Structure 1
Amino acid sequence: MQLDFVPGTLCDERMWGRLLPLLGDGYTFNHVPLYQAQTRGQMLELIGAHSAPQANLVGFSLGAYLALEYALAQPERVRSLTIIGSAGKKLADKEKATRERIIPQLEKNQYTGMTQMRLREIVAPQHLDDGALIDVIQQMAVDLGKDVLLAQFRSTIERPDLMQRVRELRCPVLIIGSELDKLAPADDVRELAANCPNARLHVLNADDGAGHMMPLEAPQLLADYMQAFYQSHHE
């Protein structure tokens, strides 16, 4: 079975590096190069161009939102959908204001990677001292760089709320969230799942030690959930 992975903001295939070896045999992996796009429309086109005709989409964060948007627009092309770290919502006013403040600063200044404040927002406290994990996040950010970050911020600051529209989905859906996720709060993820007739929901608890960056922070749990999901729907 081919799985088509859609990364989040300032992420590429390295986001999945800890997860993929744990999925075991029987899978092939394909990566959507989201960072090549300048607009949200181009991002959706990339998903179509770089995924299977009947895709098993796996999206993280921004990539999960886009995979959901793609599944709603092209239902005949999506066999299953896995949503990690997203509730399919439009940006909150506070987050919009933050981005509108950050964008001019990014335009003027050199980008050297994520700040400690940002890392504390996306990584659980117990992983802040995990040098290997932080290095992956920072290296992706530095390698993809300012232009990619600006394009992803600008093109997704205004986006529709898909929270109610998930009712339209007919494919099987796996939704994974975390109690420690500050960007996609667990209550929002639960609401998304409640709206989706074909959803299987898993919410990692605080003891699981994962914030927003779940594929890096809790890869074994995600692998277990994904294997059970695909086995039940694709036997």
Structure 2
Amino acid sequence: MKTVILLCGLLCDEVVWEYQAQALRAEYDVRILKFVEQDSMEAMAAHVLRHAPERFALAGHSMGGRVALELMRRAGPRVERLALLDTGFEGPAADEASRRAVLVEQAQREGIDAVAAAWGLPMLAPGHRSNPALVRAMFDMVGRMSGGIYAAQTRALLGRPDATEVLTNIACPTLVLCGMEDGWSPPERHRRMAELIPRASLRLIDDCGHMSMMEQPVAVLAALRDWLALEDAHA
């Protein structure tokens, strides 16, 4: 049975992939990895490799996509296919540290629940911010984290290298997916990523923000099934 590893993003845990993982487990060995003890991209990539077989399919969402690119830098030949969801590839922007620090400091000072709305609601498409079940699932997920975890994950993001060269060297079939209303990591960035990756397919999901797997679970599952059915470049 082929292994599919799903990487969680900032302040996310297994719940973010729950719908897709449950469906795919009928056919694949699905493993979801979160990052609550690491504070660098290098440590996060090493964490993935410790839990991975020799060959596997890899999908990363948001920060998890950044981790996936770091893993491609370090162990690309082990990855049979790659999926990058609502993520990015550039290094940190000049003002990124100061912008991120506001919420991190609040979370450490007042507790992680204090930033759930300020961080979580903008991640959703505007039309989904009034969906009580979705919003509660988001807030509960954030609440399972802590100010310390948030700070460590933010340090990892701020220390990330530019991955442009990594994209141009990816040899395996690659899915690039983004919500059309993702204001955090917009579609244009994903179009650029797809242009840089030699064997990329681009999937833009309507009525969807940054949390694509939770906002449009059926559409994302369909995209993942198509991706997993692509010919293996190493076969």
Query: Fold-level match, TM-score > 0.5?
Result: yes
Contact preservation (8 Å) 1:119, 1:128: no
Quick check: 186-195 or 95-104, which moved more?
95-104
- What one-letter code is carried by the residue in structure 2 that aligns with 1:213? M
Q: CA RMSD in A?
A: 1.9
Query: What pairs with 1:142-157 in structure 2 (closer than 5 Å)?
Result: 142-157=143-158
Contact preservation (8 Å) 2:57, 2:81: yes
Identity in percent: 22
1:78 equivalent in structure 2: 79
CA deviations over 1:31-74 (Å, ceiling 9, x no partner): 22322323332211111111222120111000011111101211
Contact preservation (8 Å) 2:117, 2:139: no
Structure 1 Cα separation of the partners of residues 106 and 118 of structure 2: 16
Query: What pairs with 1:51-130 in structure 2 (closer than 5 Å)?
Result: 51-130=52-131
Does the alignment pair 1:214 with 2:215?
A: no
Structure 2 Cα separation of the partners of residues 228 and 154 of structure 1: 34
**Closer, same or farther in 2 for the Cα pair 1:14/1:128, shift >3 Å?**
same
Instruction: Give the match's secondary structure for 1:36.
Output: coil
**Closer, same or farther in 2 for the Cα pair 1:199/1:113, shift >3 Å?**
farther
Query: What pairs with 1:1-235 in structure 2 (closer than 5 Å)?
Result: 1-23=2-24, 25-204=26-205, 208-234=206-232
Contact preservation (8 Å) 1:19, 1:219: yes
- What one-letter code is carried by the residue in structure 2 that aligns with 1:151? A
Structure 1 Cα separation of the partners of residues 103 and 113 of structure 2: 14
**CA positional deviation for 1:113:** 4.8
Displacement over 6 Å in runs of 4+: none
Quick check: 35-44 or 69-78, which moved more?
35-44
Quick check: 167-176 or 25-34, which moved more?
25-34
Contact preservation (8 Å) 1:22, 1:219: no
Contact preservation (8 Å) 2:55, 2:78: yes
TM-score norm. by structure 1 comes to 0.91
Contact preservation (8 Å) 1:122, 1:213: yes
Structure 2 Cα separation of the partners of residues 79 and 8 of structure 1: 21
Structure 1 Cα separation of the partners of residues 126 and 74 of structure 2: 38
CA deviations over 1:170-225 (Å, ceiling 9, x no partner): 11111101221111111111001100101111112xxx211000000011111111
Contact preservation (8 Å) 2:112, 2:145: no
**CA positional deviation for 1:22:** 4.0
Structure 2 Cα separation of the partners of residues 107 and 190 of structure 1: 36
Contact preservation (8 Å) 2:3, 2:28: yes
- What one-letter code is carried by the residue in structure 2 that aligns with 1:116? A
Contact preservation (8 Å) 2:41, 2:70: no
Structure 2 Cα separation of the partners of residues 181 and 19 of structure 1: 20
Structure 2 Cα separation of the partners of residues 109 and 116 of structure 1: 13
- May I ask how many residue pairs the two structures share in their alignment? 232
